[in-house]
Structures are given as structure tokens and as C-alpha cells.
Amino acid sequence: MTHDLSPALIERDGVIAVVRLNDLSKAVPLTEALVAGGVRAVEFTFTNPTAGEAIAAASAALGPRALIGAGSVLDAETARVAILAGATFVVTPTVSASAIELCNRYGVATTIGALTPTEILTAWQAGATYVKVFPANLGGPRYLRDVLGPLPQLKLIPTGGVDVDNAGEFIRAGAVAVALGSNLVDARSVATEDWETITARAQAIVDAVARARRPQIA
């Protein structure tokens, strides 16, 4: 899979799974379960120091069936580590111009965290592929709609507080995709290897996004 396909897939599927766990030893079967439910973009966060190993393992095992990304990337150095491990997209919690520059140099998609209109536009003008509106639960779907009013060129992905019940509202407000953490991947289900639950949640969020994208009949 080439890196330049990652933005298209993220927008087409409309869902990113954010894996923020203390134990990433089950990264491969977890990713398999998510892909089985239709979620093919999976982000392992660098809040866990073994994230690079998880990215490498999932990338090697799933090949072209999934996009494996790196989250909680704070700087260019971490972004480079993630890319060398096999990450095909990089996600930051805040605006990092150095991470954007490095990822663009290597043709790797970025989702750059921002909240205020100034931060969001700064990330976009610096070359972000997407802007992660975080934490999205502060303003909700209405906030996205308000930001996109004067800035319709932005590609926004809300993160933080997104679940199966409100994902569709964010999509209808103009989000190109949504990202979910513990509401999709929780530590208990992974620890007990309850892959059926993970797959069912993945399918439910994919379906919610698909429904929200259908033309609304007046």
C-alpha cells in the first residue's frame, strides 16, 4: 500500500480507530477485528512506548488491508520513528509544524490536533492533510458547522467524545471522518480477547457514518 492512498481511504471509510492502551501485545488480532467490522484506519498512540512495535507488527500482518497510523505524536523525531515502523498516517494532539513538515517530506498523511479557529487554520496552512478537532465534545457538531461556515475548505476530523450515537451528527455537520477511542476499543474487551464485540462496534460506527452521508429527504 502506498502512502498517498491513505487520505482517500480515511475519507472514504470515514472512521479512524484510536488505540490508547497500556498493553499493545494484541495489536494484530485487535486490528483484524476492527477491519472485519469495516474500520480500516487504525491509530496506535505513542502514549505507550511500545507503539512503534505495534505499528510494525500490524503493518506486517495486515499488509494492504488496513492503514496503520501513529497517534499522540508530539514532534518530528517521533513522527520519523513512526514512519520507519510502518505508519501510513500520523496524528498529533496539538499543532506541530515540525511534524507536518517531516510527514509531508515523506508523503505521509497527517491529522493535526487543534481546537480554536486560529489553531485549526494554522495547522491547515502549515500543510496538514486533515485537522483533528480535539476535544470535539467541548463544542459538539454545532461547533464544526460554525467553523466550516467561513472556512469551508477545511477537512475536519472530530476526536474526543465521539460515539455511535453522535458520529452521524458530526458527519452531517461537515466532518470528513470521525475518530473514536475507548468508545470503540476498550481495555477490557481487548484483554479478554472479545473480538466479536470490537467487530460489532466497528460495524455499528461504519453504518452510522454511511447513514449520515446519504442524501437527506426533505
pLDDT in tens, 86-123: 999 999 999 999 999 999 999 999 999 999 999 999 99
Find where cell 512495535 sits. Answer: 53
Nearest to 171 by CA among 142, 209, 115, 205: 209
Rounded Cα–Cα distance for residues 52 and 5 (Å): 21
Confidence of residue 5 (pLDDT cuts 50, 70, 90): very low
Rounded Cα–Cα distance for residues 208 and 202 (Å): 10
pLDDT in tens, 28-53: 999 999 999 999 999 999 999 999 99
Rounded Cα–Cα distance for residues 196 and 16 (Å): 18
109-114 vs 130-133, strand pairing mode: parallel
Question: Does residue 69 sit in helix, strand or coil?
Answer: strand
**Amino acid 215: pLDDT:** 81
Q: Which three cell numbers stand for residue 175?
A: 466532518
**Amino acid 218: pLDDT:** 46
Which positions are annotated as active-site residues?
Answer: 43, 132
**Amino acid 28: pLDDT:** 98
Q: What is the DSSP letter of 121?
A: H
**Amino acid 104: pLDDT:** 97
**Amino acid 1: pLDDT:** 37
- The pTM assigned to this predicted structure is 0.94
pLDDT score of 77 more than 60: yes
Q: What is the DSSP letter of 92?
A: E
Mean of the per-residue pLDDT values for the chain? 95
146 Rama class: left (phi>0) / alpha (psi -120 to 50) / beta = alpha
User: What's the whole-number mean pLDDT along residues 201-218?
Assistant: 90
Confidence of residue 64 (pLDDT cuts 50, 70, 90): confident
User: What's the whole-number mean pLDDT along residues 155-170?
Assistant: 97
> Please, what's the b/e burial string for 116-139 (b: 16 or more CB within 10 A of its CB; e: otherwise)?
eeebbbbbbebebbbbbbbebeee
Q: Return the CATH number of 3-212, one of 3.20.20.70, 3.40.50.2300, 3.30.365.10, 2.40.30.70.
A: 3.20.20.70
Please state the three-class secondary structure of 15-68 as a single string. EEEEECCCCCCCHHHHHHHHHHCCCCEEEEECCCCCHHHHHHHHHHHHHHHCEE
pLDDT in tens, 117-154: 999 999 999 999 999 999 999 999 999 999 999 999 99
Would you list the domain boundaries of the chain? 3-212
Whether the Cβ atoms of residue 55 and residue 68 lie closer than 8 Å to each other: yes
